[in-house]
């Protein structure tokens, strides 16, 4: 047997990929423009049950161009062969591009002496059938009719059987990566196709492995992008939820602190009021003594007792002027309260001094009931001050 792998003499001026034959071929307009696929029509040309029962009724039906090669091949060599797409060349090339495969093209010359051996021994071989079906989109045509004649005129085979490995490219061109002319045994055909697919197909980015890896990487990248975006959105949701929970906890704590502060203020106010009610005697001395049920003491006795209990640690001197011109001076502690001055005046028991209030002369300032809890130092009466008793 002799095998011719074109690309030596004729393809010297053609581009080469990894030492293999490779050339770009411009498709004829009649092939490039014809894009009408025939599908589901094969059963229309099967004999009916009536024709099978009466063979004399059988008449050879008209075979469509897309089915001509398959009908001719199976009639002579049987149905064991690679899966040849019964469609136009451009449709088969489009299928190869969509499936990311190379195209195996076979131009069938029924009258050539090498054709019967090639079809029965090579194309019908289980090894070739499995390899082509797994890795290629196969298309066949009769070399002297229809698109087969047009492809033969385009590729100009020197001998038959003629096979070619085609790669789809952009525009109305195709890349012929490998072409084989003449008889070839199954193992050798598979070896050439394998090497072409590995070395030539990778250069055009159309091998199954290369395309699958490319699409796999694209899918992985897209999945990673989707996962990263979902993770980022989940983090944003978690951060927003955390902020909302922290804000809610802060407002609850703030509300509790406010309630506690209000409660403390209320208790302090009640305590001051109770202390004032208990310790502060109303400037009306007679009315106060009547309410408390205490006997009225003389001025000298009350003042002596007050002085006896308030003589230690005194650092603030207060001069008290009365409306009648009388003056009294007494020492207090700077931490004593204004209430202590009122108590001292009440302890004197001076006549006509019942309802009154204390006023500083300069700057003029009133020290009445609201200031009872203020210390002398905070009131600005330390270390020395002069107060005037103003009757009400």
d(CA 298, CA 336): 25
Residue 376, classed as helix, strand or coil, is coil
Closest CA to 147 of 42, 74, 38: 38
* pLDDT of res. 57: 41
Q: Is the pLDDT of residue 131 over 90?
A: yes
* pLDDT of res. 187: 94
Closest CA to 104 of 71, 128, 120, 80: 128
* pLDDT of res. 67: 86
Identify whether 196 is part of a domain. yes
- Residue at which a domain ends, from 170, 187, 206: 206
Mean pLDDT, residues 79-105: 91
Identify whether 225 is part of a domain. no
Identify whether 378 is part of a domain. yes
d(CA 346, CA 292): 14
Count how many domains the chain has: 2
Q: Is the pLDDT of residue 360 over 80?
A: yes
- The answer to whether the CB of 163 falls within 8 A of the CB of 180 is yes
Long-range contacts of 249-253 (CB under 8 A, 24+ apart): none
Question: Which range is most confident: 58-62, 88-92, 196-200?
Answer: 88-92
Angle, CA 181 vertex, CA 178 and CA 186 arms, to 5°: 85
Which two three-digit tokens encode residue 79?
């149905």
Instruction: Note the pTM of the prediction, 2 decimals.
Output: 0.44
**To the nearest whole number, what is the mean pLDDT of the chain?**
77
Q: What does the pLDDT look like over 299-356, one tens digit per residue? A: 454 555 555 455 557 889 999 999 888 999 999 999 999 999 999 999 988 888 888 9
Please tell me the least confidently modeled range out of 25-34, 96-105, 149-158, 193-202. 25-34
- Residue at which a domain ends, from 183, 206, 229: 206
- The answer to whether the CB of 197 falls within 8 A of the CB of 132 is no
* Pairwise pLDDT comparison (18 vs 121), residue with the higher score: 121
* pLDDT of res. 212: 57
- The answer to whether the CB of 173 falls within 8 A of the CB of 27 is yes
For residue 350, give the CATH number of its domain: 3.10.20.90
Identify whether 33 is part of a domain. no
Is residue 29 very low, low, confident or very high in pLDDT (cuts 50, 70, 90)? low
Burial class of residue 197 (count of CB atoms within 10 Å of its CB; 0-12, 13-18, 19+): buried
Identify whether 102 is part of a domain. yes
**DSSP per-residue string spanning 351-362:** TT-SSEEEEETT
Q: What does the pLDDT look like over 136-187, one tens digit per residue? A: 999 999 999 889 999 999 898 999 999 999 987 766 678 899 989 999 999 9
Identify whether 77 is part of a domain. yes
- Cβ partners under 8 Å of residue 257, min gap 6: none
- The answer to whether the CB of 348 falls within 8 A of the CB of 328 is yes
Is residue 122 very low, low, confident or very high in pLDDT (cuts 50, 70, 90)? very high
Mean pLDDT, residues 39-47: 41
Q: Are residues 73 and 198 in the same domain?
A: yes
Q: Are residues 193 and 70 in the same domain?
A: yes
* pLDDT of res. 59: 45
| Other beta carbons within 10 Å of 34 | 17
* pLDDT of res. 78: 92
Q: Are residues 202 and 320 in the same domain?
A: no
The domain of 99 spans 65-206
- The answer to whether the CB of 302 falls within 8 A of the CB of 241 is no
Residues paired with residue 163 on neighbouring β-strands, in sequence order:
106, 180
Q: What does the pLDDT look like over 227-269, one tens digit per residue? A: 999 999 999 999 989 989 988 888 888 888 888 888 888 888 8
Please tell me the least confidently modeled range out of 119-128, 139-148, 358-367. 358-367
Which two three-digit tokens encode residue 29?
């307009």
* pLDDT of res. 58: 43
Q: Are residues 73 and 200 in the same domain?
A: yes
Identify whether 277 is part of a domain. no
For residue 131, give the CATH number of its domain: 3.40.30.10
Identify whether 170 is part of a domain. yes
Ramachandran angles phi, psi of 234, nearest 5°: -65, -40
- Residue at which a domain ends, from 206, 241, 257: 206
């Amino acid at each position: 047997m002799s095998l011719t792998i074109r690309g030596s003499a004729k393809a010297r001026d053609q581009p080469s990929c990894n030492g293999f034959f490779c050339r770009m071929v411009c498709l004829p307009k009649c092939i490039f423009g014809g894009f009408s696929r025939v599908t589901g029509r094969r059963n229309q040309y099967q004999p009916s049950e009536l024709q099978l029962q009466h063979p004399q009724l059988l008449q050879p039906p008209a075979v469509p161009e897309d089915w001509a090669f398959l009908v001719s091949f199976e009639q002579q060599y049987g149905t064991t062969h690679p899966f040849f797409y019964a469609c136009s060349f451009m449709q088969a090339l489009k299928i190869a591009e969509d499936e990311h495969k190379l195209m195996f093209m076979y131009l069938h010359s029924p009258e050539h002496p090498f054709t019967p051996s090639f079809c029965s021994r090579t194309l019908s071989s289980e090894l070739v059938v499995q390899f082509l079906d797994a890795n290629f989109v196969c298309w066949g045509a009769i070399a002297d009719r229809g698109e087969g004649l047009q492809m033969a005129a385009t590729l100009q085979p020197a001998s038959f059987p003629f096979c070619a490995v085609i790669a789809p490219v952009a525009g109305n061109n195709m890349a012929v990566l490998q072409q084989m002319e003449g008889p070839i045994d199954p193992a050798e055909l598979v070896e050439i196709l394998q090497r072409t697919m590995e070395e030539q197909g990778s250069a055009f980015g159309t091998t199954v492995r290369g395309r699958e890896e490319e699409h796999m990487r694209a899918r992985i990248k897209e999945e990673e992008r989707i996962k990263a975006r979902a993770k980022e959105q989940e983090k944003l949701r978690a951060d927003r939820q955390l902020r909302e929970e922290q804000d809610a906890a802060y407002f609850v704590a703030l509300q509790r602190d406010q309630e506690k502060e209000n409660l403390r203020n209320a208790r302090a106010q009640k305590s001051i009021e109770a202390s004032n009610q208990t310790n502060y005697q109303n400037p009306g001395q007679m009315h106060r003594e009547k309410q408390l049920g205490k006997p009225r003491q003389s001025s000298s006795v009350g003042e002596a007792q007050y002085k006896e209990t308030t003589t230690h640690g005194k650092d603030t001197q207060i001069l008290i002027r009365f409306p009648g011109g009388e003056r009294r001076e007494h020492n207090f502690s700077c931490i004593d309260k204004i209430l202590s001055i009122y108590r001292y005046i009440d302890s004197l028991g001076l006549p006509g001094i019942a309802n009154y209030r204390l006023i500083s002369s300069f700057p003029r300032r009133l020290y009445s009931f609201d200031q009872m809890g203020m210390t002398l130092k905070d009131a600005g009466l330390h270390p020395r001050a002069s107060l005037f008793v103003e009757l009400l």
